[in-house]
């Protein structure tokens, strides 16, 4: 248990049996009336964001979420197998938990796996990853200055939009949060 005065960004709260991560918080002391804490909370499992207000000093239940950097080993049916680099323990994470991160996950790549009481909650990738384009249509002469885009298939099987001048075999940097092309990697 912690007080609302102890809230910090990233802290995980257990509210009515659901886990919520504190995205933002603000202590408010109005001219009249009691002080309160305005928070923005994100559901750890669904990703849904809500605003919630607590009276100052209210006790809230905190949950211990273990975040560890783990290495992705391989995909086994519906599970993704991760290994802790220090203890060499392997963890099977269901594809529903991995979610969209699977579009940018290569073997031997590191990711942060968050667990609560031994069960995986989510997989967090770095903000950007470098992947190779395995297939894209050739760009036409003169298309280089238009600023247009075309679909490209990455080595993970994901499809993103890339500038017309990029060709098959080019290594690109991709934003893992929205799947957008960032730059070419030389």
pTM: 0.70
**pLDDT tens for residues 134-160?**
999 887 665 555 667 889 999 999 999
- In this structure, are 173 and 136 located in the same domain? yes
Last residue of a domain, one of 60, 84, 108: 60
Q: How many domains does the chain have?
A: 3
- In this structure, are 78 and 92 located in the same domain? yes
**pLDDT tens for residues 9-64?**
878 899 988 888 888 999 999 988 899 999 999 888 777 899 999 998 889 998 88
Domain of 78, in residue numbers? 67-124
Q: Residue 94: which CATH number? A: 2.40.50.140
- In this structure, are 115 and 147 located in the same domain? no
Backbone dihedral region for residue 88 (phi beyond 0: left; psi -120 to 50: alpha; all else: beta): left
Higher pLDDT, 160 or 1: 160
pLDDT of residue 140: 65
């Amino acid at each position: 248990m912690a007080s609302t005065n102890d809230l910090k960004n990233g802290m995980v709260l257990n509210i009515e049996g659901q886990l919520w991560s504190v995205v933002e918080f603000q202590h408010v002391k109005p001219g009249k009336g009691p002080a309160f804490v305005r928070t923005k909370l994100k559901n750890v499992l669904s990703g849904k964001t809500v605003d919630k207000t607590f009276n100052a000093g209210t006790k809230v239940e905190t949950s211990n979420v273990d975040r560890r950097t783990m290495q992705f080993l391989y995909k086994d049916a519906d599970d993704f197998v991760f290994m802790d680099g220090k203890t060499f323990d392997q963890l099977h994470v269901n594809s529903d938990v991995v979610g969209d991160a699977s579009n940018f996950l290569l073997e031997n790549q590191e990711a942060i796996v968050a667990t609560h009481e031994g069960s995986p909650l989510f997989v967090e990738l770095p903000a950007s990853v470098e992947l190779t384009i395995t297939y894209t249509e050739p760009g036409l002469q003169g298309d280089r200055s238009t600023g247009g885009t075309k679909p490209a298939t990455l080595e993970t099987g994901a499809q993103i939009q890339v500038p017309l001048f990029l060709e098959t075999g080019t290594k690109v940097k991709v934003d893992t949060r929205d799947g957008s092309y960032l730059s070419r990697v030389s």
